[in-house]
Amino acid sequence: MSENELLDRLPETLPDDPMHWADAWLKEATAAGIRRNPNAMAVVSASKSGQPSARMVLCKEFVPEPGYLVFYTNYQSQKALEFADNPRAAALFHWDTIGRQVRIEGLIVHSPEEESDEYFGSREWGSQLGAWGSDQSSPVESKAALVEQIRHRGKKLGLALGEGTDVLTDDAIPVIPRPPNWGGLRLWATAIELWIEGGDRIHDRARWTREIIRTSEHGFTTSPWTGTRLQP
């Protein structure tokens, strides 16, 4: 199968592993520079009562095999607390410019701590400080109060902050450890739908499902994918 065939239409015989297709589309959107964050996706959680909530997050890793994606958050945020009660999640990528869409459903687990440590260490120090300084999803009196809270916690970490949270008073790059309540979430796919925009709204659409069985704190064993073509 050529690259153009991979990206322009779904074959008559559906592929055995749709995650590789989704990964190829994400790479194409990234290479095309179609928007500032081509890895942005909507992630949906649900409360104990079943009330859904959606937000945009950045997919930081897409792993076709064995089939999960990774995003990062404060573990005390609304979405993380809801996932702790109900690990079922849905994610959506939509790239309007290239006429592609990927829907993923599955189960959420925490990423390994060493993986979260490595990613946190790669972030700009200002983003690291923000992870310590913000109690994500909690009320705050004002933006000024939030900035003061971040500055206060930065000083407790030993940072010599100047005026504003984005200025250090010396040239040293600070070493900031990862907060214990911040890290990665893995969304292990149990279903995935690929959608390609078509003329006259005759879109190309297919859905795959599989079973996953949890075998460790962070991983699952998986069954083969079963694909079904859908009407648009």
- For the chain, domains (ranges, CATH) are 3-115+181-229 (2.30.110.10)
pLDDT in tens, 130-159: 899 888 888 989 998 888 888 888 888 877
pLDDT the model gives residue 7: 53
pLDDT band at 87 (very low <50, low <70, confident <90, very high): very high
Task: Kindly tell me if the per-residue pLDDT of 103 is higher than 80.
Answer: yes
pLDDT in tens, 154-176: 888 877 776 655 545 555 567 88
pLDDT the model gives residue 5: 44
Strongest mean pLDDT among 3-12, 20-29, 162-171: 20-29
* DSSP letter string, the chain: --HHHHHH---SS--S-HHHHHHHHHHHHHHHT-SS-TTEEEEEEE-TT--EEEEEEE--EEETTTTEEEEEEETTSHHHHHHHH--EEEEEEEEGGGTEEEEEEEEEEEPPHHHHHHHHHHS-HHHHHHHHH--TTS--S-HHHHHHHHHHHHHHTT--B-SSTT-BSSSPPP--PPPTTEEEEEEEEEEEEEEE--GGG--EEEEEE--EEE-SSS-EEEPPPEEEE---
pLDDT in tens, 178-224: 999 999 999 999 999 999 998 888 899 999 999 999 999 999 999 99
Strongest mean pLDDT among 1-15, 28-42, 77-91: 77-91
Q: Quick one: average pLDDT of 54-80?
A: 97
pLDDT the model gives residue 152: 84
Task: Return mean pLDDT, the chain.
Answer: 90
pLDDT the model gives residue 173: 62
pLDDT the model gives residue 2: 42
pLDDT band at 80 (very low <50, low <70, confident <90, very high): very high
Q: Is the pTM of this model over 0.85?
A: yes
